Structure 1
Amino acid sequence: MKVLLLFSSADIGGAERSLSRMALANNDGSISYQLSTFDSHGVWSEWVISAEGSPICFDKSVWKLLKYIFTEKPDAIYIIGFRLAVLLRIVVPFLSKSLLVQGVRWNPNSNSMLDKMFRFVERFFGSLLDGYIVNSNSARQSLNKLVKKNIALIYNGIAEIQPINSKKSDNKNIITIANLSTRKGYEDYLRAISIVVSKVPESRFLFLGKDNLDGKIQQLIIDNKLENNVQYLGFQERIDEFLENSAVFVLPSLYGEGCPTSILEAFSFSLPVVAYQIDGIPELVTHGIDGLLFDVGNVDALAGGIVSFLLDPENSEKMGISGRQKVKDYFLLDDMVKKHNDYFLGLK
């Protein structure tokens, strides 16, 4: 079976990393994945090539994409991108018998315009798709209210579990891996950081991810006199070294999360997690066991959770080890690959 795994963007976020790794790790001869993007050559395609993959870039050309579908006739198209899924469900039936599956990598229950449009389209036109794959139960529950299709829940997975290394008690590095965008909550996070710095002056915050806010967060760092405590490092192809040298992971997202790969990566390095209790995050993080979860927007609580880990490194390390064990038990890449393969082969 041939599956065209089609991303809408040339950028690289959690969805692109986790699903590309899944496709590249597949060794089942009965199914193959062709990695592709509707966008042009960019960070994602370079990353795939570095991992010895062969991505296709359609250069934002509908004609190139439809020509490929018509000539190559993939058995299924796994679409990551709502607008692209709308287009393909309209035109693909006229070109081939390819099955259409939409990957929903976030919980579409917010009041954002995109989520409202998504809910409208799926409620009335979901029957034009052959299925959905979600990576959180929260997303599945939202979709169940809209469509009658079979919805597969497949969590993200991590390929490698790092050996346990005892964290130094004086390690005050806090890391966040998330592209800079409004829904990722960086503005609220900076307010929390100001509180943390007032209590733990030697704390150091690392931001890793592409800047989608045109320098707004960097300017806020300066405006709040946090340059000595906060460092924006941009997108990093390799994040292992940064995770290895950190003590706490924070994901300050306000909405729209599914199964954040960054949390699993943090757990794999035995880092405890601090986050808001939204969408699929509580499906990964157990409050008081491997991390701390707070009501969304409660900046004081978020800051307090970070401070508690910095001042109690023994408890921080204990929770991080619990997170590491959780990944080993429930969130391995091999399981993610097998469940995707079983799903697509079951569609034939």
Structure 2
Amino acid sequence: MKRVVMIGPSPTAKGGIATVIGTLLRVGYERDGRCVFIQTHISAGFLHKAWVAAWALLRVTWLMATGQVALLHAHVASEASFWRKAVFIRVAQFFRCPVIFHLHSGEFRVFLEQRMSLRQRQFAIAMMRRVDYALVLSDDAMKLLTDIGVKKIEMLPNPIQINGSSPARQQSSDILFLGRLDNKKGVYDLLRAFKRVRDQVPEARLILGGEGEFTQVRELASTLGILDVLELPGWVDESQRSQLLARAAAFVLPSHFEQMPMTVLEAMVAGVPVVATRVGGVPCMLEHGDCGKLVDVGDLDALACALVEVLSDRPAAEAMAKRAHQRVLSEYEASVVLSRLQDRYAVLKQ
């Protein structure tokens, strides 16, 4: 029996793609034997990473050479993720195996247009034009691939699994951020905006969960006089994220680049009011302001104002969060997304 082979990072790795893959596996992606996942990357040392990638390539090549693959589904981001998946995609194209190019990177346009040499860009575009189908997470990604010449593109949302029980919501004035601590995620914008929030809501606290530029973050917080109300728990696992969301009065993601951030979906599921920038698929996720507050990238006044509004008008914020929760149930629940994906597989395998 020919099977769909999905490739991407291990579900135990860090990052949004790993979270998406882990969710699909938990809701039955491999259940009937018609689909199989092969990891191409793990969070480990260089040699271990290289071994995992090489073994995955050998396994996929053997499956294709022996006629056991009906379709290759490749989860792709920027930088090393793109070049790693490019090898697998070229192997599939050599064996005339249909390919789904599933784009996740919020800064793929920058990667393609500014970080590749001319020869690399020519190779990448030629490869992408030959894929049979592309899945994207935002209008911008769809336009980019359309302009490149990809013929068949569909928007498929990231899935999130909704458990029956979650920690009870707590009353606080905590503002929570989850992600890498760097400029691209808007962390320094957030610190400066939070200084203005504190001037109006003195009891507010800021929690920045994730790895990254701890020294620079602490230095700026100290300069701004907010170091005493800043919490840096580092990388947080699923259980810790649930606890942090339960005690958060607001979730904030002031990113400069995104596609469809899983952290926003997690906040929506947890019933936490969301404030985020208008990037990637975020406006669609938040129904252009109906299910969360949207601000422009780098607009510190608007960011501070939105956070103050959430902290000051709790009934309105909770009503917004309830609308967001209902939107997740109808559009992003994992079994709904998996069903759509399987329907697409069925069409491409014909």
The answer, yes or no, to whether TM exceeds 0.5 is: yes
CA distance in 1, matches of 2:200, 2:323: 27
Q: Provide the secondary structure at the position in 2 that maps to 1:145.
A: helix
Which residue of 1 is the match for residue 230 of structure 2? 230
Which residue of 1 is the match for residue 333 of structure 2? 332
Shift of 1:14: 1.7
- More deviation, 269-278/280-289: 280-289
CA distance in 1, matches of 2:16, 2:230: 22
Shift of 1:70: 2.5
Shift of 1:63: 3.8
Q: How many residues align?
A: 330
**CA 1:125–1:67 in structure 2 vs 1: closer, same or farther (change >3 Å)?**
closer
Deviations 1:49-70 (A, max 9, x none): xxxxxxxx75356543332123
Deviations 1:258-314 (A, max 9, x none): 111111111111111111112211011135422111121101110110011111111
Shift of 1:214: 6.2
Deviations 1:225-278 (A, max 9, x none): 3222221111111211111111111001012x1111111111111111111112
**CA 1:250–1:127 in structure 2 vs 1: closer, same or farther (change >3 Å)?**
same
Tell whether 2:254 aligns with 1:259: no
Give the alignment of 1:333-348 within 5 angstroms.
Answer: 333-348=334-349
Amino acid corresponding to residue 90 of structure 1 in structure 2? R
Deviations 1:120-157 (A, max 9, x none): 55543323323221122332122111123311211012
CA distance in 2, matches of 1:163, 1:10: 22
Shift of 1:347: 1.9
Shift of 1:215: 3.6
Which residue of 2 is the match for residue 33 of structure 1? 36
Amino acid corresponding to residue 36 of structure 2 in structure 1? Y
**CA 1:9–1:166 in structure 2 vs 1: closer, same or farther (change >3 Å)?**
closer
Q: Equivalent pairs: percent with the same residue?
A: 23
Tell whether 2:76 aligns with 1:77: no
Shift of 1:111: 4.1
Shift of 1:173: 1.0
Larger relative helix fraction: 2
CA distance in 2, matches of 1:289, 1:108: 26
CA distance in 2, matches of 1:40, 1:262: 20
Indicate conservation of the 8 Å contact 1:134/1:152, yes or no.
yes
TM-score scaled by length of structure 1: 0.83
Which residue of 1 is the match for residue 58 of structure 2? 67
**CA 1:329–1:92 in structure 2 vs 1: closer, same or farther (change >3 Å)?**
closer
Indicate conservation of the 8 Å contact 1:292/1:305, yes or no.
yes
Which residue of 2 is the match for residue 101 of structure 1? 100
Give the alignment of 1:6-21 within 5 angstroms.
Answer: 6-7=8-9, 11-21=13-23
CA distance in 2, matches of 1:114, 1:205: 35
TM-score scaled by length of structure 2: 0.83
CA distance in 1, matches of 2:96, 2:41: 20
Which residue of 2 is the match for residue 315 of structure 1? 316
* Alignment root-mean-square deviation, CA: 2.9
**CA 1:30–1:136 in structure 2 vs 1: closer, same or farther (change >3 Å)?**
farther
CA distance in 2, matches of 1:120, 1:189: 38
Indicate conservation of the 8 Å contact 1:275/1:294, yes or no.
yes
Indicate conservation of the 8 Å contact 2:167/2:243, yes or no.
no
CA distance in 2, matches of 1:113, 1:225: 40
Indicate conservation of the 8 Å contact 1:6/1:77, yes or no.
no
**CA 1:317–1:36 in structure 2 vs 1: closer, same or farther (change >3 Å)?**
same
Deviations 1:42-98 (A, max 9, x none): 8xxxxxxxxxxxxxx75356543332123333443332332223333334445x454
Which residue of 1 is the match for residue 147 of structure 2? 145
